[in-house]
Structure 1
Amino acid sequence: MSSLRAKIQDVFNEPACEQNRGKDAKARKEGCSKPLTPGTAAGGCAFDGAKIVLQPITDVAHLIHAPLACEGNSWDNRGAASSGPTLWRTSFTTDLTELDVVMGRGERKLFKAIREIKEAYGPPAIFVYPTCVTALIGDDIEAVCKRAAEKFGLPVVPVNAPGFVGSKNLGNKLAGEALLEHVIGTVEPDDAGPYDINILGEFNLSGEFWLVKPLLDRLGIRVRACIPGDARYFDIACAHRARAAMMVCSTALINLARKMERRWDIPFFEGSFYGITDTSEALRQISQLLVKKGSDPEILGRTEALIAEEEAIAWKKLAAYRPRLEGKRVLLNTGGVKSWSVVHALMEIGIEIVGTSVKKSTVEDKERIKQILKDDNHIFEQMAPRELYAMLSEHKADIMLSGGRTQFIALKAKTPWLDINQERQHPYAGYDGMVELVRQIDLAIHNPIWRQVREPAPWDCQPAVREELPSTKSETATLHVVQEFAGTTTDDFGGC
């Protein structure tokens, strides 16, 4: 536990973070994440965060040393995609029981599980994750992994990030520390080249990195390692021979980028592949970093030619959607890099941003949003469900982009909604991804179902029956059926 404590303290002291550099020593020790409330997951624990970062490494066996529920609640927690191996989709757990805990059989059970995985699947490596239970009872995960690696002749990597140590974001960083300590730099490639780069913090959600990689291939740039999206163990082990790196989600792996720069002189920058302008700028910065590291300057010209060609194609496709979407109002309830990159992307085609969440964004992310929106009134740290519902039901937004947890607020308010978080079904990165995002927004807003669900129910617009008394005694009493819609017309109810 003392080594884990030291790792956590090192992660909190992050020199690459401008906000962290401005803190005093006491504030720096508290880290950036909000303290957890006992008994709550606070949006995900450290174990969950570590699993998110490492599970997309597709050819590795991920073994959870814990009771069954820990793996059951975290398995397949992101919509990452693989172009080959499927071992990462298989769930492995030691399934500790109360008897195992009482009798102290956890370490033996872990060693046996590692042996069974090695014999049955023969993976290039096994990642072992302790959780709250196994950390609290004192199982020495690192010792077991070291012994198993010597015995079975394959890397067995301890990922020391039990849930109780902190938030999901802390778990992301501890996963990066595990890669630095046990994986990166352990294999020397025989094909290192001057155009090799790393992409850090890219998860290949719905396969969206596959929309970006062909652009790099056309420039002759090879992705040595994409960490973690669609990654292979060997690629990550050789990642220290890349010439440059791009950081996509700084809140997750900024410590990994900084330490790789310090150890192996791999410069990095933070960028985004969401939106036409940001994709073009990312390609430019990658080329510029490679030139600074000794690559042929002619790549700069090829990059500009590619950007001009791809932007022309994308803007031509988007032109068909501009008349339908220009002036439409979007509420963005997400966070992190999407809080500013998607904002910029949508504003490029004339969509108005009425609000964006910065709950999981860094200080740098928030500054970018302010520069883009020019108005702090559209930025909110966190909006309660009641406030979200009020905003949508009052038609202050034409559509909400968010994760699956808030979709029912939009649906209850009878407002179009589009999933933009990790559970999404469509890729939105790169030039083609931007066109797809706009297409999905157009389909959602103009779906005829919204006009139908906003109409009153049939029983709310039935004609009223009123009995009219005769005006004179000599007149015969009659019943007249009249429609009474206090101050309204039938057009107000869709003609009902």
Structure 2
Amino acid sequence: MSSLRAKIQDVFNEPACEQNRGKDAKARKEGCSKPLTPGAAAGGCAFDGAKIVLQPITDVAHLIHAPLACEGNSWDNRGAASSGPTLWRTSFTTDLTELDVVMGQGERKLFKAIREIKEAYGPPAIFVYPTCVTALIGDDIEAVCRRAAEKFGLPVVPVNAPGFVGSKNLGNKLAGEALLDHVIGTVEPDDAGPYDINILGEFNLSGEFWLVKPLLDRLGIRVRACIPGDARYFDIACAHRARAAMMVCSTALINLARKMEQRWDIPFFEGSFYGITDTSEALRQISQLLVKKGADPEILGRTEALIAEEEAIAWKKLAAYRPRLEGKRVLLNTGGVKSWSVVHALMEIGIEIVGTSVKKSTVEDKERIKQILKDDNHIFEQMAPRELYAMLSEHKADIMLSGGRTQFIALKAKTPWLDINQERQHPYAGYDGMVELVRQIDLAIHNPIWRQVREPAPWDCQPAVREELPSTKSETATLHVVQEFAGTTAGDFGGC
């Protein structure tokens, strides 16, 4: 536990973060994460954050050393996609019971589970995750993992990020530390080249990275490791031989990028593949870093030629949507890198941003938003569901882009909604992804269902009572009224 405490303090003291460098020593030790409320997950615990970062490594067996609910509640929590192995889709857990805890059988059960996975699946590595229960009872998973690795002849990696140590974001960083301590640099590739790069913090949601990788392939740039999206264990183990790196989500793996730069001299920059301008700028910066590390400068010219070609194609496709979407108002309720990258992407085609959430954004993310929007009034830290509903029901936005948890607020306000978080079904990265994003927004806003649901329901409208109806309450008059009502049409209802 003392080693875990030291690791957490090291993660909090992040010199690559501009905001952290400006703090005094005491504030730096407290980190950037808000304290957790007892009994609350704060959007996800540290264990959940570690699983998010490591589970997309597709050929690895991910073993949760905990009671069954810990794995059941965290499994498949991201829409990451794989182009090959499916082992990561298999759920492994030691399924500790109360009797196991009382009798001290946890470590023995863990060792047995590792052996069974090795014999049944033969993975290149096994990642072992403790949770609150097994950390509190003192199971030494690092010792078990070392013994199992020696016994079975394969890497068994302890991911020491039990839920109670902090937030999901802290778990992201602890997962990066596990890769640094046990995986990266353990294998020497025999094909290292001057055009090898790493992509960090890219999760390949809905196969997004597959829209970007062909662009890099055309430039002769090889992605040595994409961490963690569609990753393989061997690729990550060889990631220390890349020449440059791009950081897609700095809040998750900034510590990984910085320490790889310190240990193996791999320079990195933070960029985005959302939007035409940001995608082009990311390609330029990758090429420039490679040239600084010794690549042939001719790649800069080829990069500009590729950018010009792809931008022309994308703008031509987007031209058809501009008249339909220009001036439309969008409310963004997301965070992190999307809080500024998607804003920039949408503004490129004339869409107006009426608000964007920065709840999960870094200080650097917020500064980018201010530079793009030129107005702090459209930036909010967080908005209560009641306020979101009021804004949408008053028609201050034509569509809301958010995650699945807030979709029902938009639907209740009879406002179009589009999912841009990890549960989404469509990829939005790169030039083709930008066209797809705009197409989905157009489909959502102009769907005829919204005109229909906004009309008053027939039972909310008063029938036009005809003058010839008798005013008495006799049985005959009642029957007459029913007959007249049954014979009316939609046009006979006032206000409908």
Q: TM-score, normalised by structure 1?
A: 0.95
Question: C-alpha deviations, 1:364-417, integer Å up to 9, x for none?
Answer: 000000000000000000000000000000000000000000000000000000
- Match of 1:284, SS? helix
- Match of 2:456, SS? coil
Question: C-alpha deviations, 1:62-108, integer Å up to 9, x for none?
Answer: 00000000000000000000000000000000000000000000000
Q: Is the 8 A contact 1:50 1:168 kept in 2?
A: yes
Q: Is the 8 A contact 1:468 1:478 kept in 2?
A: no
Q: Is the 8 A contact 1:469 1:478 kept in 2?
A: no
Question: C-alpha deviations, 1:44-66, integer Å up to 9, x for none?
Answer: 00000000000000000000000
Do the aligned partners of residues 476 and 11 (structure 1) sit closer, same or farther apart at CA in structure 2, a change above 3 Å counting? closer
Q: Distance in 1 between matches of 2:383 and 2:410?
A: 13
1:489, distance to aligned residue in structure 2 (A): 15
Q: Distance in 2 between matches of 1:147 and 1:117?
A: 15
Q: Distance in 1 between matches of 2:274 and 2:478?
A: 70
1:118, distance to aligned residue in structure 2 (A): 0.1
Q: Distance in 2 between matches of 1:396 and 1:437?
A: 21
- Match of 1:464, SS? coil
- Match of 2:273, SS? coil
Do the aligned partners of residues 58 and 478 (structure 1) sit closer, same or farther apart at CA in structure 2, a change above 3 Å counting? closer
- Match of 2:349, SS? coil
1:464, distance to aligned residue in structure 2 (A): 4.5
Q: Distance in 2 between matches of 1:492 and 1:378?
A: 45
Question: C-alpha deviations, 1:417-472, integer Å up to 9, x for none?
Answer: 00000000000000000000000000000000001111111111231538799999
Do the aligned partners of residues 294 and 356 (structure 1) sit closer, same or farther apart at CA in structure 2, a change above 3 Å counting? same
Do the aligned partners of residues 279 and 474 (structure 1) sit closer, same or farther apart at CA in structure 2, a change above 3 Å counting? closer
The answer to whether 1:416 aligns with 2:427 is no
Q: Distance in 2 between matches of 1:327 and 1:437?
A: 16
Do the aligned partners of residues 296 and 137 (structure 1) sit closer, same or farther apart at CA in structure 2, a change above 3 Å counting? same
- Match of 1:259, SS? helix
Do the aligned partners of residues 486 and 398 (structure 1) sit closer, same or farther apart at CA in structure 2, a change above 3 Å counting? farther
Q: Is the 8 A contact 2:71 2:91 kept in 1?
A: yes
Q: Which consecutive segments of 4 or more residues in structure 1 shift more than 6 A?
A: 466-495
Q: Is the 8 A contact 2:464 2:493 kept in 1?
A: no
Question: C-alpha deviations, 1:333-357, integer Å up to 9, x for none?
Answer: 0000000000000000000000000
Q: Is the 8 A contact 1:466 1:480 kept in 2?
A: no
Do the aligned partners of residues 298 and 101 (structure 1) sit closer, same or farther apart at CA in structure 2, a change above 3 Å counting? same
Q: Distance in 2 between matches of 1:285 and 1:471?
A: 82
Q: Is the 8 A contact 2:464 2:492 kept in 1?
A: no
Q: Distance in 2 between matches of 1:254 and 1:472?
A: 80
* Residue matched to 1:468: 468
Q: Distance in 2 between matches of 1:151 and 1:99?
A: 27
- Match of 1:466, SS? coil
Q: Is the 8 A contact 1:465 1:482 kept in 2?
A: no
The answer to whether 1:189 aligns with 2:171 is no
Q: Distance in 1 between matches of 2:336 and 2:330?
A: 18
Let me know the Cα RMSD of the aligned residues: 3.3
Do the aligned partners of residues 379 and 476 (structure 1) sit closer, same or farther apart at CA in structure 2, a change above 3 Å counting? closer
Of residues 448-457 and 479-488 in structure 1, the stretch that sits farther from structure 2 once superposed is 479-488
Structure 1 unpaired stretches of 5+: none
* Residue matched to 2:259: 259
Question: C-alpha deviations, 1:467-496, integer Å up to 9, x for none?
Answer: 799999999999999999999999999973
- Match of 2:192, SS? coil
Q: Distance in 1 between matches of 2:21 and 2:38?
A: 29
Of residues 202-211 and 485-494 in structure 1, the stretch that sits farther from structure 2 once superposed is 485-494
Q: Is the 8 A contact 1:56 1:230 kept in 2?
A: yes
Q: Is the 8 A contact 2:61 2:123 kept in 1?
A: yes
Q: Is the 8 A contact 1:464 1:481 kept in 2?
A: no
Alignment length (residue pairs) = 496
Do the aligned partners of residues 474 and 169 (structure 1) sit closer, same or farther apart at CA in structure 2, a change above 3 Å counting? closer
1:217, distance to aligned residue in structure 2 (A): 0.1
Q: Is the 8 A contact 2:331 2:353 kept in 1?
A: yes
Q: Is the 8 A contact 2:185 2:240 kept in 1?
A: yes
Q: Distance in 2 between matches of 1:460 and 1:416?
A: 23
Question: C-alpha deviations, 1:235-272, integer Å up to 9, x for none?
Answer: 00000000000000000000000000000000000000
* Residue matched to 2:440: 440
Q: Distance in 1 between matches of 2:135 and 2:479?
A: 81
Do the aligned partners of residues 371 and 210 (structure 1) sit closer, same or farther apart at CA in structure 2, a change above 3 Å counting? same
- Match of 2:483, SS? coil
Q: Is the 8 A contact 2:418 2:441 kept in 1?
A: yes
Q: Distance in 2 between matches of 1:120 and 1:473?
A: 81
Q: Distance in 2 between matches of 1:470 and 1:273?
A: 71
Identity across aligned pairs (percent)?
98
Do the aligned partners of residues 74 and 468 (structure 1) sit closer, same or farther apart at CA in structure 2, a change above 3 Å counting? same
Do the aligned partners of residues 489 and 159 (structure 1) sit closer, same or farther apart at CA in structure 2, a change above 3 Å counting? same
Q: Distance in 2 between matches of 1:12 and 1:165?
A: 12
Do the aligned partners of residues 472 and 487 (structure 1) sit closer, same or farther apart at CA in structure 2, a change above 3 Å counting? closer
Q: Is the 8 A contact 2:358 2:381 kept in 1?
A: yes
Do the aligned partners of residues 473 and 341 (structure 1) sit closer, same or farther apart at CA in structure 2, a change above 3 Å counting? closer
* Residue matched to 1:58: 58
Q: Distance in 1 between matches of 2:470 and 2:426?
A: 67
Structure 2 unpaired stretches of 5+: none
